[in-house]
Structure 1
């Protein structure tokens, strides 16, 4: 079985979809079958479609994003239904990337689907405290952390990565700069699944 990741963030709009697309594309380029999922989203958002396009997924959008509605009429998501959709996606792929949704507690989602967590750290003031809280949540629930990626989600904000490296140690995977590709070392650290042999 390949690896299964939940991509969560230290706040809203920190680059979860951007990193998910870049990571999925890079893994696919290395010969992996990559599945994606964003369990809950709004009709106005294109995040689920962007993830699917990045990895070349032809799976039905009903599986990739089983709860998609207007923000004013969103039904309460059922984790058991999300789990069934996820299992169908995972059965056909070497690695699965799931983007967290604000309407579901990320720890509940990671526990239900047995996912390793990737924390996207938005390069903003207060991100160190937010990262610490996210890691504490994972530790308290026994959730495996794959690592943290610093993302320059706001191009005007430049915060040194040194304090984050010191805080995270081996959990620090690297930095994704604004409008630049995902660095190769990040992909290599997370892409430790069997590469499919050429036919």
Structure 2
């Protein structure tokens, strides 16, 4: 069975798409068939296209990103998890690994539970990041979700990291993506 990851973050704009593209590209370069998905997104976003391009996907965009909205959907227009699951299964059937990027437009925990995904938590290297990470981890534990680990992502040129804060985060540390630098090989190797 394919490895199945959900990339989610501690807040918006922490590097989910950048890391998803880098992971997908690196895995494809190692000979794996990589499927990607961003189940829900906005009309003006290019995240799904970036993911598809990074892994050389030829799958239709309505399979990779079945729901696109101009704004946050009303409850009557909420994405159907059954439809998302069908799209995901088509992608997974042709892949050795699938990378799904979360969105603020749908609950990451619902997606992870429905699709049985391992979580990769992207922790934005900003003030308060350890507290934000611990809140996400507690939420995952409450839902019984598996967290593979976290990646500390330098969102800005001047990161806020301190070693004591990192020790508070009680899930495996996969590595750090520094501002405007490539993803470390060791991160990819931990996930293959």
TM-score scaled to structure 1, two decimals? 0.91
Mapping 1:48-67, distance limit 5 Å: 48-67=48-67
| Native 8 Å contact 2:72 2:105 kept in 1 | no
| Native 8 Å contact 1:28 1:55 kept in 2 | yes
Q: Which runs of 5+ in 2 are unaligned?
A: none
Q: Output the CA distance in 1 between the equivalents of 2:165 and 2:99.
A: 24
Q: Which residue number corresponds to residue 172 of structure 1?
A: 173
Q: Which residue number corresponds to residue 133 of structure 2?
A: 131
Q: Output the CA distance in 2 between the equivalents of 1:56 and 1:24.
A: 9
Mapping 1:111-130, distance limit 5 Å: 111-130=113-132
Q: Which residue number corresponds to residue 32 of structure 1?
A: 32
Q: When the two structures are aligned, how many residues end up with a matched partner?
A: 190
Q: Which residue number corresponds to residue 92 of structure 2?
A: 90
Q: Which residue number corresponds to residue 16 of structure 2?
A: 16
Q: Which runs of 5+ in 1 are unaligned?
A: 192-199
Cα-to-partner distance string for 1:1-41 (whole Å, 9 max, x where unaligned): 12100000000000000000000000000000000000111
| Native 8 Å contact 2:152 2:177 kept in 1 | yes
SS class of match (1:101) = coil
Shift of 1:109: 0.8
Counterparts in 2 of 1:135 and 1:169: CA distance versus 1, 3 Å = closer
Q: Which residue number corresponds to residue 189 of structure 1?
A: 190
Shift of 1:42: 1.2
What CA RMSD, in Å, does the superposition of the two structures yield over aligned residues? 1.4
Q: Output the CA distance in 1 between the equivalents of 2:22 and 2:65.
A: 19
| Native 8 Å contact 2:37 2:101 kept in 1 | yes
| Native 8 Å contact 2:130 2:166 kept in 1 | no
TM-score scaled to structure 2, two decimals? 0.94
Q: Output the CA distance in 2 between the equivalents of 1:137 and 1:42.
A: 25
Q: Output the CA distance in 2 between the equivalents of 1:170 and 1:114.
A: 19
